[in-house]
Structure 1
C-alpha cells in the first residue's frame, strides 16, 4: 500500500503567458512558481519520502529542486511517461487562440476521442502515465515496504488522467478534475483498489505521514476519523 504524492509543477512562464507549453524546452518556473516550490519543501516536512520521480521537463525538475536540496539522500528518477502530453502542432500556441479550434470542443467534451495534430491522443497520454504510476508503485513497495511514500512531479493533464483512472472514472470526465500549480494529489494503491486521498491540495500535508490502520486496503464505512 505505497502512497503516491503527485505534484503538479509550480507556475511557469508559459502559464503566465497563456501558452500551451507541451514539450517546449526551456520553460522555467516564474517567480511565483519558485516560491511555490520552496513552500512545497516546507509542506512536506515530516513526510518520509523514499524516492522521487519526475517528468524530464525543466519546470518539473525545478519544482522538486528545493525538496531534493533539503534531502540529499533522495534519488530522483526522470520518466518520460509522466512527461506532458504531446500537443503536436498546438505546442507553443496561445490558449486564447486554441479555444476557437473545433478540436477544443472535443478535448473538453469527449477527450477520449481527441488526438492532437502531429501529436498524441489523450487516450495514449493516459495509458502511458497510468502504466508508469503502477510500475513505480510496485517497485517502491517491493524495495521500501507497503507503508512507503514516494513523490512524482508531473503536469496538469497527466495528473488529472491518473486521478480519473484511480477513481474508475472515464477519461471523458477528466476535465471535471482540477489541479492548481504546485498542488498535491495523493493516491494509495492497494491490492483491491486505489484510494484517492487528496486532489489539488495546497494546504498542510503533515497528515500524509504513514500510520497504523485497521482494515487496511478497504473503504472505511462511515468515512473514518481522519488524520490524528
Structure 2
C-alpha cells in the first residue's frame, strides 16, 4: 500500500513562521508556479483515492498540482487538518516565548494544551482515526492513495507507520513537497 503524502504549498504564515493550525490561510500568490514540479511528478499517476484537508491552503495545493482533476471524487476531510493551536494561531515563537503555558507546551506537548486549542491526545486520536480508515481503504487497491494535508499530520502518521519513532524526528516534509510511503497493513 503506497501513500503519497503532500504537505500544502507555501503560505505567508509559513514564511513568517507563524502557527497556522486551523486558521484558513491561503497560499502565496505565486505558489502555483512553485508547485509546477510536483504537478509534473503527479501527472498520470492512477490514484485509487484522493483525500484532502478541508482548509484552503490544501484545497489550493490540490488544484495546482492536479489542475485537470474532477474534484467531485475528492474526499475533503477535517480530520486531516493541522493541530488546532487556539489562541496561538497567527503568532510566532518570539511572540509566545514569554508565556509560561507556551513554554511548558514546547517542553512537554503531551502534558499541556494551547489556550483554546486541541490537546495532543485529541490531535493524535483524530489523526489516528483517519489513518486507520485510509489504511483500510488502501487494502482494496494496488494503486496509491493521494493525501494533501499538513506537516503535523504527516509527522503523526509517520509515527503510526514506524512504531516507536519520535514525532519530531518521524518525518520532515517542507511546504509543497511529497513523501511517498509504504503503509504497513497492520499497525497502531
Cα offsets for 1:28-51 (capped at 9, x unmatched): 111453223332111223432122
Cα distance, 1:141 vs. partner? 3.0
Residue equivalent to 1:157: 152
Distance across 2 between alignment mates of 1:34 and 1:15: 16
1:18 aligns with 2:17: yes
* Among 175, 192, 198, the residue aligned to 2:168: 175
1:189 aligns with 2:183: yes
Equivalence map 1:82-161=2 (5 Å)? 82-142=80-140, 145=141, 147-161=142-156
Which gives a bigger RCO, structure 1 or 2 (Cα 8 Å, sep 6+)? 2
Cα distance, 1:191 vs. partner? 3.0
Cα distance, 1:82 vs. partner? 0.8
Structure 1 residues 52 and 184, CA gap change in structure 2 (3 angstroms): same
Provide TM-score, normalisation by structure 1: 0.72
Distance across 1 between alignment mates of 2:100 and 2:158: 26
Structure 1 residues 192 and 54, CA gap change in structure 2 (3 angstroms): closer
Provide TM-score, normalisation by structure 2: 0.86
Q: Is the 8 A contact 2:43 2:66 kept in 1?
A: no
Give the superposed CA RMSD. Answer: 2.3
Distance across 2 between alignment mates of 1:192 and 1:138: 9
Contiguous gaps of at least 5 residues in structure 1: 195-228
Equivalence map 1:207-226=2 (5 Å)? none
1:8 aligns with 2:7: yes
